[in-house]
Amino acid sequence: MRQLTTTRGFTLLEAIIYIALFMFVIGGGLLSAYQIFEGSASISAAAARETEINFALRKINWALNGTEVSDITKPTAGGTADELIVTKDGHQYTLSVDGGQFVIETGGDSFPLTNLPTGVTAVSFTRTNTNPQTVSAALTVDGETLEPTTHYVRTN
């Protein structure tokens, strides 16, 4: 009598099932990796936007602070303007929006302070007539007006 022996290995059906499971796992991994990369790109864009805005706000702070500020021409006391004109250390600086960028002008030269894809659409400077005087600056970026920042001003 012949004895039946068991064979080792996979049947065709088992191989197809294992390949399908393997493809399902790999597909899920690729989908997850794609989502992670897409999320990281949007986070990087948001971080770059925040960095640009903070740099512009620091330049406003620089223009208004320090003992070398001798005069603020615009906005006038009690007024609002779309540009800030400050005389500091014997030089006149103008901060304004030009062509979707926040710029600083001095000595006839203009230097962009932001490089946002959609840009800074507006800026508003408000100067109080109180003692001590304050200047508030509000930037509008991507159609969203940011919270105004207020700076106390000492002029010589």
In a domain, 75, yes or no: yes
User: Residue 106 in 3-state DSSP?
Assistant: strand
**pLDDT (tens digit per residue) in 76-117:** 888 888 888 888 888 888 888 887 788 888 888 888 887 776
- Longest Cα pair distance anywhere in the chain, in angstroms? 116
Total domains in the chain come to 1
More confident residue, 75 or 9: 75
Burial of 126 (0-12, 13-18, 19+ CB in 10 A): middle
In a domain, 50, yes or no: yes
Q: Quickly state the pLDDT bin for 4 (edges 50, 70, 90).
A: low
> What tokens does 1 get?
């009598």
Please give the residue range of the domain that contains residue 118.
39-153
What pLDDT does 27 receive?
Answer: 94
Question: Residue 140's CB: how many other CB atoms inside 10 A?
Answer: 15
In a domain, 77, yes or no: yes
In a domain, 2, yes or no: no
In a domain, 25, yes or no: no
- In angstroms, the CA 150 to CA 133 distance is 10
**pLDDT (tens digit per residue) in 25-84:** 999 999 999 988 888 888 887 887 788 888 888 888 888 887 677 778 888 888 888 888
